[in-house]
Amino acid sequence: MFDTTDLVINMGPQHPSTHGVLRVVLRLDGERVVGSDIVIGYLHRGIEKLCEQRDWAQIILITDRMDYVAAASNNLGYCETVEKLMSLEVPRRARYIRTILAELQRIASHCLWLGTHAMDLGAMTVFLYAFRERELVLDLFEEYCGARLTYNAMRIGGLPLDIPTGWDRKVRAFCDLFETKVAEYEELLTNNRIWLDRTRNIGVISGEDAVAIGLTGPALRGSGVPRDVRKAEPYAAYAELEFNVPIGAAGDTYDRYLVRIEELLQSVGIIRQALDGLPEGPIIGKVPRLIKPPAGETYHAIESPKGELGYFIVSDGKSNAPYRFRVRPPSFCNLQALPRLIQGHLVSDVVALIGSIDIVVGEVDR
């Protein structure tokens, strides 16, 4: 009857809900999304190429800058890859402390996700509550290594620093406090009628599709696929610790929310166990003074807060820098699912779905 055209709307790169500089070009019919185009690259810093120009130890602090809200996880992934390449033995104490740091990092990253995701849906108080607890984690990191965001907290073969005196007690106190705070977030959201309406059946993706598209991390587990690198290919000290891998059923935004909330509690459990079983001993293994891995290539992945963070590194055995340095960033791979998730939903759901796959543009673009 009427001659209508689609409304093309440019969401980002400066939009309050695109979590940095993601740009989504939406084609709308009314408010319904009929097509979308995701434009990335606004935060590209050439990190992979840069790493091929730096020697092996210098790369650790560059990895901080990829997923800048989970720097310790990036450090862990890189250090373990090089250790695998060099067949280095990491002392048990170092592996335990690495695990504690990685799980604290998971809590900090999930807190940031929870806050921004809730804020995108209009629940602004949760944002400040979640940041309040994230602040406590950052304080713990600051006491451990002096930095609050880009930690440079690990070394090839172990750790630069042992934990400060009394730090373990503070971590335990944080764990006790944090459990009550998670209950507080859940009270505000989990059974909230509006929250349920806004997240249930939004962006449903089946387990098969999620695997086919390459989703990893909580976004994959929300669809009911119990894959967690910590269980599947244990690294650090995870083989010796007990934890559950929460999975969802429907694969919608609400399930992804529940999975992450449960992961927060599981992380608290892992930290407690690691502190209980923290062995004595050195914190760094026998590392040659000049790090020069033998010629060869390796891929090693860890479970970063956002999904499977993998490093593929090729060494030619001659130079002081990697011959090829390639990262499999979970944010980038998970972002592939976005056009499919938002198809047919409303503009309001687009912001919910961008939040629900939990991306960091620094990691997407590198």
Nearer to another protein, 7 or 232 (CB): 7
119 binds another protein (CB under 8 A): yes
x/- mask, another protein, residues 327-366, rule CB under 8 A, reads -------------------xxxxxx---------------
User: What tokens appear for 23 in the block?
Assistant: 């740009």
Nearer to another protein, 122 or 164 (CB): 122
x/- mask, another protein, residues 168-207, rule CB under 8 A, reads --------------------xx--x-xx-xx---------
**Residues numbered 298-327 forming contacts with another protein, rule: CB under 8 A:** none
121 binds another protein (CB under 8 A): yes
Q: How many CB atoms lie within 10 A of CB 306?
A: 29
Q: Which residues contact 162 (CB under 8 A, 6 or more apart)?
A: 97, 283
Minimal distance in Å, beta carbon 260 to another protein? 16
Nearer to another protein, 80 or 120 (CB): 120
Nearer to another protein, 11 or 171 (CB): 11
Minimal distance in Å, beta carbon 261 to another protein? 15
Q: Which residues contact 353 (CB under 8 A, 6 or more apart)?
A: 202, 203, 253, 338, 341, 342, 345
φ and ψ of 232, to 5 deg: -70, -45
Which residue type sits at 291?
Answer: I
End-to-end CA distance of the chain: 48
Q: Which stretch binds another protein (CB under 8 A): 114-122, 208-216, 257-265, 274-282?
A: 114-122
Q: Are 225 and 301 in contact (CB under 8 A)?
A: no
User: For 320-353, b where at least 16 C-beta lie within 10 A, e where not — what string?
Assistant: ebbeebebbbbbbbbbebbeebbeebeeebbbbb
* Residue whose pair of structure tokens reads 């969802």 in the numeric block: 248
**Which one of residues 96, 113, 129, 311 is an interface residue with another protein (CB under 8 A)?**
129
Nearer to another protein, 15 or 292 (CB): 15
Q: How many residues bind another protein (CB under 8 A)?
A: 32
Cα separation, 314 vs 326, in Å, equals: 9
Q: Which residues contact 312 (CB under 8 A, 6 or more apart)?
A: 297, 298, 299, 324, 325, 326, 327, 328
x/- mask, another protein, residues 4-43, rule CB under 8 A, reads ---x-x-----xxx----------x-xx------------
124 binds another protein (CB under 8 A): yes
Note the residues at the interface with another protein (CB under 8 A).
7, 9, 15-17, 28, 30-31, 118-125, 128-129, 132, 188-189, 192, 194-195, 197-198, 346-351
